[in-house]
């Protein structure tokens, strides 16, 4: 890491701290003594295949917003946790690119564990349950449970 102040080729790490999404490092330049902070995050590129066959970059924000819409009563921290869990499942899928229908299925299975109503809302908004009979069955199961 080059010093942003003087371009010196080495910096000293004063402190490392693990945050939720990154590794935060407080650094000092041995040459000019200026201090600055760096954040280390994992970068990965994941492509998803849509129903019509087109490909697009995987965007975790989309997942977050779609589940936020379905889980109206859930606080942002819990939503973030849920999103991370879903993201991990998607990243760990063996076959890439991942199909959006597979992503929908992963989101549904996590929502089902989290909140039955949110699960149904998601399923109806995103038409993730394509079979109307299956949706009916799910609704009935929730009504009974
Ligand atoms: Zn420097």
Q: What is the pTM of this model?
A: 0.67
Burial of 88 (0-12, 13-18, 19+ CB in 10 A): exposed
Q: Which two tokens stand for residue 120?
A: 């149904």
Band (pLDDT 50/70/90 cuts) for residue 129 is low
Gap between the Cα atoms of 73 and 77, Å rounded: 12
Q: State the distance from the centre of ligand 1 to the C-alpha of 4, rounded, in angstroms.
A: 7
Q: State the distance from the centre of ligand 1 to the C-alpha of 72, rounded, in angstroms.
A: 48
Helix-then-strand count for the chain, H and E: 5, 6
Gap between the Cα atoms of 122 and 129, Å rounded: 9
pLDDT at 11 over 90: yes
Task: Report percent pLDDT > 70 for the chain.
Answer: 91
Q: Which of 65-69, 92-96, 113-117 has the lowest mean pLDDT?
A: 92-96
Higher pLDDT, 37 or 72: 37
């Amino acid at each position: 890491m080059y010093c942003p102040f003087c371009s010196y080729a080495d910096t000293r790490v004063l402190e490392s701290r693990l945050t939720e999404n990154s590794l935060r490092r407080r650094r000092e330049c041995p040459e000019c003594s200026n201090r600055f902070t760096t954040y280390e995050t994992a970068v990965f590129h994941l492509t998803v295949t849509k129903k019509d066959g087109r490909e697009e970059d995987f965007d975790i924000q989309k997942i977050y917003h779609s589940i936020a819409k379905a889980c109206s009563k859930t606080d942002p921290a819990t939503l973030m946790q849920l999103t991370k869990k879903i993201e991990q499942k998607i990243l760990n899928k063996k076959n890439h690119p991942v199909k959006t229908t597979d992503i929908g299925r992963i989101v549904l299975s996590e929502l089902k564990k989290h909140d039955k109503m949110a699960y149904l809302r998601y399923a109806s908004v995103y038409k993730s349950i394509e079979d109307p009979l299956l949706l009916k069955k799910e609704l009935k199961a929730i009504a009974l449970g």
